């Protein structure tokens, strides 16, 4: 295997010149069952992200630990985010199949243990295991799709995968409510068992890849420092203003320590023979711009999913089910657009398709910023649907553009880096939007500093004060969309010759 540290272009040139046999993926595989396995695996993560919220009251009544329950969500996000780049690198070194099986296995183990949890700390720890499994599932599934399907097919197939999130947005809360009312909250985890077993069995039996067996030098130092640094940074962003004030010593130590460790990681990677994140990733205009777009997408999505339901419930006065419906419109528009993006970018290119999506998303976010204290919930849902359409024309084409620049040996790293940027965008979005909302509440004399996901609470806050706070978040989301549009505009105008090569 050629070293990826010498630059993407030189690696590809050397591989072609020396005719090094690369992994032939899918030549002995049936694509349909593998795609079904990928969709089921992604569905495990998607449903888990929506089904748990409905069971939180029941879990707290059974296990206690009311003040700890936000960590059920934070630990999952943290474990998933920090493990993505490491799994992505290993999938390039040892193949997609073993990494995907490890991810499904860890998610299955975490689900079983979560269903058997005897206390809130134990459940939080087991949710961390689930997050480690999700960290392998998400980038590897997207990489496998990039391996098996041609450029023309890929957006349609990724539209199928994106539709899993739309289905989960509807099925997850309903399924969670059914289990809590008729059985027990533990079944929201046990339901993962048959799905994970079937996905793993299908992958084991149907997916075959011929990997060149060579000895790799694992970048242990880089993996450890990256995990520690990104963990501290994401932890500081998630819990700043919640567990400790932003200007406290704890915040400075956690965020400063994470930043120093990531700087150390960059120095380690410059000397590593097979770095976790090679330097050429950050020297490519295409990768830099698509990663910036992914970071913005992560921030916008977390802002909508965290604060739109709060607006619908706290300002408009509807119940949680209606709030969930409004956000579900986002996940319905997204796969619709993603499934049509392939026909669009084949005609006008990745950059132009992304620019159209950015304009549509910006229009939707502009409408969101104009909502009033008495707006119709149907207007909110329509706005979210429009934003979802825009995101569908952004997220899939930009990811496919990045994947199409990479050969098999480095496609995992490219995909993983893109998804890691999105996770970091979510963490930064939670921190920035939460700080803006808290500042607006404090300025209006409202409560602040103790809520979940950003540190705001509607207890004792008038609808008008809450609206003023959320209005600041919606305006900030529109500003992030402008940054996203600029990132897309800076993408290369035309695909490279390599991007036009058919996939076997």
Residues 463, 360 share a domain: yes
8 A C-beta contact, residue 92 and residue 411: yes
**Lowest mean pLDDT across 134-148, 290-304, 401-415:** 401-415
Report if residue 401 sits inside a domain: yes
Which of 16 and 431 is assigned the larger pLDDT? 431
Average confidence (pLDDT) over 419-433: 83
Considering only residues 252 and 49, tell me which one the structure prediction assigns the higher pLDDT: 252
86-95, 225-234, 305-314, 317-326: segment of lowest average pLDDT: 317-326
pTM: 0.77
How far is Cα 19 from Cα 60, in angstroms, rounded to an integer?
A: 59
Select from 360, 372, 365, 377 the least CA-distant residue to 476.
365
The pLDDT score that the predictor gives to residue 113 is 94
Distance (Å, whole) CA 344 – CA 358: 14
> Cα dist. 297→180, 273, 276, 347, 418 in Å?
33, 32, 24, 24, 11
Last residue in a domain, options 256, 273, 290: 273
Contact 418, 402 (CB under 8 A): yes
Record the tokens describing residue 314, joined without a space: 């706290």
Domain ranges, residue 249:
218-273
Asked whether residue 375 falls in the same domain as residue 459, the answer is: yes
Same domain, 234 and 382: no
392 with 480, same domain: the answer is: yes
More confident call, 2 vs 301:
301
Per-residue confidence band for 486, with pLDDT thresholds at 50, 70 and 90: very high
For residue 312, tell me if it sits in a domain.
Answer: yes
What average pLDDT does the segment 376-397 reach?
Answer: 89
Q: How far apart are CA 274 and CA 151, in angstroms?
A: 28
Query: Of 177, 208, 239, which one is at a domain's C-terminal end?
Result: 208
| Cβ contacts of 443 within 8 Å, gap of 6 or more | none
Clarify whether residues 248 and 285 are in a common domain.
no
Residues 6+ apart with CB under 8 A from 173: 50, 51, 53, 54, 321, 324
Contacts by 109-116 with C-beta closer than 8 Å and gap 24+? 109/133, 111/48, 111/189, 111/190, 111/192, 111/193, 111/196, 112/189, 112/190, 112/193, 114/186, 114/189, 115/186, 115/187, 115/189, 115/190, 116/186
Split at pLDDT 50, 70, 90, the class of 282 is confident
The pLDDT of residue 320 is: 66
pLDDT tens-place string over residues 392-406? 899 888 888 888 777
pLDDT value for 501 = 36
Residue 291, domain CATH = 1.20.1250.20
What pLDDT does 67 receive? 66
Of 273, 298, 315, which residue sits at a domain end?
Answer: 273
Which secondary-structure segment (H or E) carries 371? none
Mean pLDDT over 299-303 rounds to 85
Number of domains composing the chain? 3
Cβ–Cβ < 8 Å for 114, 126: yes
Q: Mean pLDDT across the stretch 59-82?
A: 78
Q: Are residues 316 and 330 in the same domain?
A: yes
Could you tell me the pLDDT band of residue 20, with boundaries at 50, 70 and 90? very low
CA distances from 203 to 89, 100, 192, 336 (A): 20, 8, 16, 27
Question: Do 203 and 335 fall within a single domain?
Answer: no
Let me know if residue 174 belongs to a domain. yes
Query: Does 306 share its domain with 188?
Result: no
Q: Is residue 18 in some structural domain?
A: no
Distance CA 331, CA 161 (A): 12
Q: Which pLDDT score, from 0 to 100, does residue 15 have?
A: 38
Pick the range with the lowest mean pLDDT from 57-66, 264-273, 296-305, 354-363: 57-66
Residue 170 has pLDDT above 70, yes or no: no
Is 198 within a domain? yes
428, pLDDT greater than 70: yes
So what's the pLDDT on residue 375?
85
| pLDDT tops 50 at residue 29 | yes
| Placement of tokens 């990256």 in the chain | 226
pLDDT digits (tens, 9 = 90+) for 182-226: 778 888 888 889 989 998 898 888 887 766 666 667 777 878 888
Do 240 and 314 reside in the same domain of the chain? no
Q: Tell me 501's DSSP state.
A: S
pLDDT score for 102: 93
Question: Highest-confidence range of 79-88, 143-152, 253-262, 425-434, by mean pLDDT?
Answer: 253-262
Mean per-residue pLDDT, 218-237: 82
User: Is the pLDDT assigned to residue 450 strictly greater than 70?
Assistant: no
**pLDDT of residue 334 exceeding 80:** yes
Residue 458 has a pLDDT of 46
Q: How far apart (Å, rounded) are the C-alpha atoms in residues 47 and 165?
A: 8
**Closest by alpha carbon to 375, among 312, 461, 323?**
312
pLDDT at 448: 42
CA dihedral sign of residues 169, 162, 73, 305: negative
Q: What average pLDDT does the structure give for the chain?
A: 78
DSSP of 175-197, one letter per residue? HHHHHHHHS-TTHHHHTHHHHHH
In terms of domains, do 295 and 423 share one?
yes
For the cut 70, the answer to whether the pLDDT of residue 27 exceeds it is no
My answer on whether 327 and 256 are in the same domain is no
10 assigned to some structural domain: no
Same domain membership, residue 296 and residue 332: yes
Q: Is residue 122 part of a domain?
A: yes
pLDDT exceeds cutoff 80 at 68: no
The reported pLDDT for the residue numbered 443 is 64
Q: Look at residue 11 and tell me if it is in a domain.
A: no
Residue 109 is given by DSSP the state H
């Amino acid at each position: 295997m050629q070293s990826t540290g010498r630059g993407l272009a030189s690696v590809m040139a050397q591989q072609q010149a020396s005719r090094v046999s690369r992994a032939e993926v899918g030549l002995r595989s049936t694509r349909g069952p593998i795609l079904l396995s990928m969709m089921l695996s992604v569905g495990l993560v998607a449903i888990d992200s929506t089904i748990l919220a409905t069971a939180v009251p029941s879990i707290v009544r059974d296990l206690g630990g009311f003040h700890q329950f936000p960590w059920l969500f934070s630990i999952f996000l943290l474990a998933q985010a920090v493990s993505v780049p490491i799994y992505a690198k290993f999938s390039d070194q040892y193949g997609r199949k073993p990494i995907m099986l490890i991810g499904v296995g860890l998610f299955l183990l975490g689900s079983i243990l979560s269903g058997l949890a005897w206390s809130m700390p134990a459940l939080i720890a087991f949710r961390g295991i689930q997050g480690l499994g999700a960290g392998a599932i998400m980038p590897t599934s997207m990489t496998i799709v990039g391996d098996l399907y041609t450029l023309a097919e890929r957006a349609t197939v990724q539209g199928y995968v994106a539709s899993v999130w739309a289905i989960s947005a509807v099925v997850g809360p309903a399924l969670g409510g059914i289990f809590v009312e008729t059985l027990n909250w533990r079944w929201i985890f046990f339901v993962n068992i048959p799905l994970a077993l079937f996905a793993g069995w299908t992958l084991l039996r149907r997916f075959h890849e011929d990997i060149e067996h060579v000895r790799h030098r694992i970048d242990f130092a880089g993996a450890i420092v990256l995990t520690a640094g990104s963990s501290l940074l994401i932890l500081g962003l998630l819990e700043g203003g919640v567990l400790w004030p932003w200007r406290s010593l704890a915040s400075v130590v956690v965020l400063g320590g994470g930043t120093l460790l990531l700087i150390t990681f960059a120095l380690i990677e410059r000397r590593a023979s097979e770095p976790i994140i090679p330097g050429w990733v950050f020297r490519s205009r295409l990768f830099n711009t698509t990663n910036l777009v992914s970071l913005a997408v992560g921030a916008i999505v977390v802002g909508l999913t965290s604060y739109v339901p709060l607006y619908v419930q706290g300002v408009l006065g509807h119940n949680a089910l209606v709030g969930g419906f409004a956000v579900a419109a986002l996940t319905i528009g997204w796969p619709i657009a993603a499934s049509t993006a392939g026909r669009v970018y084949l005609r006008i290119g990745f950059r132009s398709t992304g620019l159209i999506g950015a304009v549509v998303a910006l229009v939707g976010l502009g409408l969101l910023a104009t909502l009033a204290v008495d707006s119709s919930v149907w207007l909110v849902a329509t706005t979210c649907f429009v934003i979802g359409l825009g995101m569908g024309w952004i997220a899939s084409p930009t990811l496919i553009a990045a994947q199409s620049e990479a050969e098999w040996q480095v496609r995992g790293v490219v995909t993983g880096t893109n998804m890691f940027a999105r996770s970091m965008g979510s963490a930064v979005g939670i921190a920035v939007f939460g700080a803006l909302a808290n500042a607006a509440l404090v300025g209006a004399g409202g409560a602040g500093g103790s809520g979940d996901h950003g540190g705001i609470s509607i207890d004792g806050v008038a609808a008008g004060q809450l609206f003023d706070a959320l209005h600041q978040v919606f305006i900030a989301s529109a500003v992030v969309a402008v940054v996203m549009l600029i990132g897309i505009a800076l993408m290369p105008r035309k695909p490279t010759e390599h991007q036009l090569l058919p996939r076997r």
